Structure 1
Amino acid sequence: MSIPLRLSALALALAVLFLAGVGVGSSFIPPERVIAALFGAGERTDGIIVWNLRLPRVLLAILAGVALALAGALLQRATRNPLASPSVLGVVDGAAVGVLVFLFAFSDSANLLQVSVLWQPAFAAAGAGVFALAVAGLVWRDRGDPMRLILYGVALAALANAAVVLMLIVGPVYRSSQALIWLAGSVHQAEWRDVAIVSAAVAPALPLLALMARPLDQMRLDPLSAFATGLRVELTRAAALLLSVYLAAAAVSVAGGIGFVGLIAPHAARLLLGTAAGAQMLGAALLGGAIVSGADLLVRAAFQPLEVPTGAVTALIGAPYFLFLLTRVGRTHA
């Protein structure tokens, strides 16, 4: 099967998950009624359920998956390390620290924010950026050793988790429950405001990714060979890392700590579509959206009426896969 056909199949699978996600819930809505409601036709009750309750949740899941998958693909290209991902390198955990600082610092005892929630992505980006820069600085000191990259990322992620636990213990009790839901990674409280935040973050990144497709292909070479082709290696790597942190922070700032999507989706895209940057990025985006929306659909169908965090499913799948990759890379560098 050609690459365009494979991409079309992935897009079709995501469309099916989208319709299923909007239709599944406490009251099932068949696909034809979902489509009618989306176009403003059909029953008024269907329109209320679709537009007010389910559509923001499904769209947020897809957008968060797209952003996390693209962030992971950029990290893997920039570091030339198949184990790199936002959740492994402490980016997600750093964003968690930033969000918790925001929640605890600007909330009152009535559980209301004293500043606009639009500041939350900025705090998430700041936390993610601090930890990403810390990992980058430590790896640069060791000349980019791929295994040390993972070790430093795991160590700093543990430091971020310790800070999170400390804030949960000493912080306001009335904020702890909301913080725990966010940390687990969930989209069940999605609103149109959240969809707008992630959309506004992802949209300007897409043309930048298109412009970076050729340089990212050149990054597959070793640094000297890439430099010989005319690539400004360090500038390209820095741009890819910054864009990766930006996308990851935008996703987790509203969807929470959904882990391992940035690890699984780029690998699956590479297996299905090859190593060309353009095809891999597009495939990773489609797969990332499918993974998160599919995980959310699974927890809704399997645990209804309980609201199980979507991140629990992605971690259940991603953690064993990460261990598998870690053992393979460890043997390669032994």
Structure 2
Amino acid sequence: MSRAAPMALLVAALIALAIAAVGLGSTPIPPERVIAALLGWGERTDQIVVWNLRLPRVALAACAGAALALSGALLQRTTRNPLASPSILGITDGAALGVLVFLFAFSDEANLLQVPVVWQPLFAAGGAALFALAVTLLAGRDRGDPMRLILYGVTLAALAHAAVVLMMIVGPVYRSGQALVWLAGAVHQAEWRDAAIVAAALMAALPLLVRLAGPLDQLRLDGASAFATGLPVEAVRATALVLSVALAAAAVSVAGGIGFVGLVAPHAARLLFGSAAARELPAAALLGAGMVLGADLLVRAAFQPIEVPAGAVTALIGAPYFLFLLTRMGRLNA
């Protein structure tokens, strides 16, 4: 079997999952009618339901999952730490805090924004960048020790989460309710503009990801060896880190704090497709999209008509895996 065949199977599985997700709802739509509506055929009612009500949710789940998975893959490559991910290093919580500041500062009593929504991802990016910089500076004092990097990240993530909780307690009820969407990591209120924000970030990142594939493979060497091969190590690391923060911020700004996708998806991609960046990055993106899309499909099927956040499922999957990695690294370092 060629190397392209497993990737094609993964794409096919993701498409099948998306069709199933579009068909699920208060009025189920069979797969053949979903496909007809997507192609502009079939009944007018099906087309309205599919394109206006269900497809934005599916698109946002897939795009957010892909962005978080790529962010995690870049972080793990940059830090050479298998435990690194946006949620564990405080980037997700920092982005969520930025969104909360934006909502509290610029929404009125009717939960209507008084400024263009395009500013929301910028505030998310600012919060994510602030916490990423703090973790990087703190870890730099300990020469990038992997375990200390994780400890600093977890501590700063807890600090950001505490700030968010405090804002919800002291703030008006209407704004607290609005903020819960981002804290839960849910996609059920998705609109096309939300999916477009993350899709635009992914498209903007694509050329850089292609150019970084080779240098990211060189980063698997230690710093001195990578530099000896002619790689501008610090420039590559800085570019990958900025790209990782931007992707995580874009996802969190509209989909909320969906945790552990950036940890699990890159590991699964390396297990299935190897460690070459040219294969790992697209595989991680597809697996991350499938994780969030599958989690949202699961909670919709299990708890309908109650809207349960997809982030609850990804946390149930990712948290035990994180503990497994943490204990294994602890034994290796003992």
Q: Given the two structures, how large is their TM-score scaled by the length of structure 2?
A: 0.99
Mapped to 1, the partners of 2:207 and 2:27 lie a distance apart of 39
Mapped to 2, the partners of 1:204 and 1:111 lie a distance apart of 30
Give 1:6's aligned residue: 6
1:74-110: CA deviations, max 9, x gaps? 0000000000000000000001110000000111112
Give the 5 Å matches for 1:180-199. Answer: 180-199=180-199
1:126-172: CA deviations, max 9, x gaps? 00000000000011111111111000000000110110111001112
Shift in Å, 1:2 = 4.0
Give 1:252's aligned residue: 252
Give 1:164's aligned residue: 164
Shift in Å, 1:3 = 2.7
Give the 5 Å matches for 1:236-247. Answer: 236-247=236-247
Shift in Å, 1:199 = 1.3
Shift in Å, 1:235 = 1.0
Give the 5 Å matches for 1:1-334. Answer: 1-334=1-334
Mapped to 1, the partners of 2:268 and 2:9 lie a distance apart of 14
Q: Percent same amino acid among aligned pairs?
A: 75
Shift in Å, 1:270 = 0.3
Mapped to 1, the partners of 2:93 and 2:321 lie a distance apart of 19
Mapped to 1, the partners of 2:110 and 2:43 lie a distance apart of 38
Mapped to 1, the partners of 2:26 and 2:330 lie a distance apart of 46
Shift in Å, 1:178 = 1.7
Q: Which amino acid letter does the alignment assign opposite residue 176 of structure 1?
A: S
* Larger mean Cα displacement after TM superposition, 73-82 or 9-18: 9-18
> Does the CA-based 8 Å contact 2:111-2:178 persist in structure 1?
no
Q: Which amino acid letter does the alignment assign opposite residue 44 of structure 1?
A: R
1:40-72: CA deviations, max 9, x gaps? 110111011101100000000000000000000
Query: Which runs of 4 or more aligned residues in structure 1 lie more than 6 Å from their structure 2 counterparts after TM superposition?
Result: none
* Larger mean Cα displacement after TM superposition, 124-133 or 229-238: 229-238
Mapped to 1, the partners of 2:26 and 2:181 lie a distance apart of 21
Shift in Å, 1:39 = 1.2
Q: Which amino acid letter does the alignment assign opposite residue 85 of structure 1?
A: S
Shift in Å, 1:309 = 0.3
Mapped to 1, the partners of 2:65 and 2:111 lie a distance apart of 28
Q: Which amino acid letter does the alignment assign opposite residue 160 of structure 2?
A: A
Shift in Å, 1:198 = 1.1
Q: Given the two structures, how large is their TM-score scaled by the length of structure 1?
A: 0.99
Aligned length: 334
Mapped to 2, the partners of 1:330 and 1:3 lie a distance apart of 34
User: What SS does the aligned partner of 2:174 have?
Assistant: helix
TM-align CA RMSD: 0.8
1:220-259: CA deviations, max 9, x gaps? 0111111111111111111111100000000010000000
Mapped to 1, the partners of 2:36 and 2:28 lie a distance apart of 14
Mapped to 2, the partners of 1:72 and 1:97 lie a distance apart of 19
Q: Which amino acid letter does the alignment assign opposite residue 71 of structure 1?
A: S
Q: Which amino acid letter does the alignment assign opposite residue 140 of structure 1?
A: G
Mapped to 1, the partners of 2:170 and 2:13 lie a distance apart of 45
Shift in Å, 1:15 = 0.7
Mapped to 2, the partners of 1:268 and 1:13 lie a distance apart of 15
* Larger mean Cα displacement after TM superposition, 67-76 or 28-37: 28-37
Mapped to 2, the partners of 1:135 and 1:27 lie a distance apart of 47
User: What SS does the aligned partner of 1:311 have?
Assistant: helix
Could you tell me which runs of 5 or more consecutive residues in structure 1 were left unpaired when the two chains were aligned.
none
Shift in Å, 1:291 = 0.4
Could you tell me which runs of 5 or more consecutive residues in structure 2 were left unpaired when the two chains were aligned.
none
1:9-52: CA deviations, max 9, x gaps? 11111011110011111111111111110111101110111011
> Does the CA-based 8 Å contact 2:78-2:240 persist in structure 1?
yes
Mapped to 2, the partners of 1:24 and 1:249 lie a distance apart of 29
Mapped to 1, the partners of 2:84 and 2:111 lie a distance apart of 36
Mapped to 1, the partners of 2:249 and 2:58 lie a distance apart of 19
